[in-house]
Amino acid sequence: MRRLTLIFALTLLFIPVAGGIGVTMEQKTFNKLTPEEERVLVHKGTEAPFSGKYYNFTGRGYYHCKRCNARLFSSSDKFDSACGWPSFDDEIKGAIRRQKDADGSRTEILCANCGAHLGHVFTGEHLTEKNTRHCVNSIALVFVPEKDTPETATAYFAGGCFWGVEYLFEHRKGVVKAVSGYMGGELENPTYHDVTAGDSGHLETVAVTYDPARVTYAELARFFFEIHDPTQVGGQGPDIGKQYRSAIFYQNEAEEKTARDLLRALKANGYTVTTMVLPAATFWEAEEYHQDYYDKSGRRPYCHAYKKRF
């Protein structure tokens, strides 16, 4: 009996968690770090004050994450705080995640894309009009001159609860950031309450900003069809309602053609797809508490998982 119990327990270790990421999902890859970079970005260390190369640096451009290349700060928001580390009074929208520091008093800032430790954020010091100071380790940053900053593009996908769609796209190589929001309805500035009521016409949609040099629109659209069930009618998993329907919002003829080509490919593979292909409309960003929900809560998607369909 004890032997059977042990075998059963060991078997459970190899059973995927419901709603988790499938083992075939492409894992996010990061840049190789030096031991000192790893000490700061991974193990939450701090470089010595006044020692970083970007402390007095005044070049025009953007500061990217050393670990994953995500764009974090603009040089237009950098200021001299005399604190010994590069200081910024603003961030690229959606690029920074905040959490209580281990010391229980300060607020740590991390790259929202890869979780790398960047430094801390302070408010109430009245050093700039924005009254905010992101105190960042130079070693956590890579500066990209304005003329060399890679262009990004944005795609829009609706596939049920945006928490899961956002989470899986943010862990896809080539994606800079994913933002939860609403698209497709006529009501301006919709709230979550408006959308869940089912009368606004909006779908829970994710705006996926990506680097075309690292991933194509077609690859993202294929990935979209493989992280949700495009055959389900009227919702996704246990989430039923108009706002949870599946759709690709295209912005040009090339995106529309890609979407329809993938629909035909799925049909040829035996799938009866319910995904709508619709022209993009105004994207309304969802409330802050919806952004990076799974990263903040430490949970995993309950109705989204990778499944190869092509």
Which positions are catalytic?
135, 161
Could you tell me how many residues make up the chain?
Answer: 310
61 vs 73, 90, 143, CA distance in Å?
9, 14, 7
Judge contact between 144 and 165, C-beta under 8 A: no
